[in-house]
Amino acid sequence: MAGGNEVRILRAGDRAAVAWKNGGGVTREIAAWPEGASMADFGWRISLAEVAADGPFSAFPGVDRTLTLAEGAGMDLTVAGARRLVDERYAPQDFPGDAPTDCRLLDGPVVNFNVMYRRDRVRARTAVVRGALALRAEPGETLLLVALQGPAELEAEAEAGAGAGAGAGAGAEAEAEAEAEAVVSLGPYDAVLITGAAACTLRTRGRAAVVRLAARPGR
């Protein structure tokens, strides 16, 4: 899906808010693949959506979506004629993005963490975690980590042999500085995009989303 190893910090304050055409809310894109893809040609797209009014969701042919309530009382959805109550925070729910979906807010505006992906091109799995979790991105896989509730920290795994032969003086100090630089602090809704083979530890006292993305074989 992406070549090489890369870790990118995506700060919440850098995202632009895009208003919906129907005036029912705004969306802030966190990341998409291919980078810069439009709504018509993305392979996957991950965003935060602020829903301020009742109304239908946009339909996306060939797209599956995972929606996680992050703020607010929730929504009463009707998906392809079937009721789907979304009233538990941090509980990912999967449903087809091309099914007619109508939304009624339960008690005021909500914020949703939204993962959308082309079902014939991409595999995507979303989990919400707390505490400390060791993570590894395999070759060809992309990880997106998002602090949904409260701050989080991401610590990159030290490479084998790092600091070997260092003395107790300046060498130890340099090693400590390198370790400090490997820890990334994330504020609410900050994200980290990891591509290629990489390992890290995610820590949070609140809630953080972990999304694993990979191209389907043959894609």
DSSP structure string for 171-213: HHHHHHHHHHHTEEEE-TT-EEEEESSEEEEEEEEEEEEEEEE
Q: Rounded to two decimals, what is the model's pTM? A: 0.87
Q: What is the DSSP letter of 138?
A: P
Structure tokens at 92: 């990912």
- The per-residue pLDDT for 161 is 38
Residue with tokens 């400090």: 180
CA distance 140 to 205: 30
Asked if residue 41 has pLDDT above 70, the reply is: yes
| CATH H-level superfamily of 15-120 | Jelly Rolls (2.60.120.10)
- The per-residue pLDDT for 158 is 57
List, for residues 111-140, the tens digit of each pLDDT value.
999 999 999 999 999 999 999 999 988 888
- The per-residue pLDDT for 39 is 86
- The per-residue pLDDT for 173 is 57
CA distance 2 to 213: 11
List, for residues 127-176, the tens digit of each pLDDT value.
999 999 999 888 889 999 999 999 999 998 755 433 333 344 455 554 55
Structure tokens at 171: 């060498």
Percent of the chain at pLDDT exceeding 90: 71
- The per-residue pLDDT for 178 is 46
- Closest by CA to 150, choosing from 192, 112, 207, 111, is 207
Structure tokens at 116: 């959308």
Structure tokens at 169: 């003086």
List, for residues 161-214, the tens digit of each pLDDT value.
333 333 444 555 545 544 545 899 999 999 999 987 788 999 999 999 999 999
Measured CA angle at 175 (ends 169, 181), to 5 deg: 140
CA distance 186 to 189: 8
Domain with CATH 2.60.120.10 in the chain: 15-120
Structure tokens at 93: 């729910």
CA distance 113 to 99: 19
Percent of the chain at pLDDT exceeding 70: 86
- 150, with CB counted inside 10 A (0-12, 13-18, 19+), is middle
CA distance 137 to 33: 16
- 169, with CB counted inside 10 A (0-12, 13-18, 19+), is exposed
Q: Is it true that domain 124-215 has CATH number 2.60.120?
A: yes
Asked if residue 62 has pLDDT above 50, the reply is: yes
- Closest by CA to 92, choosing from 141, 38, 46, 133, is 46
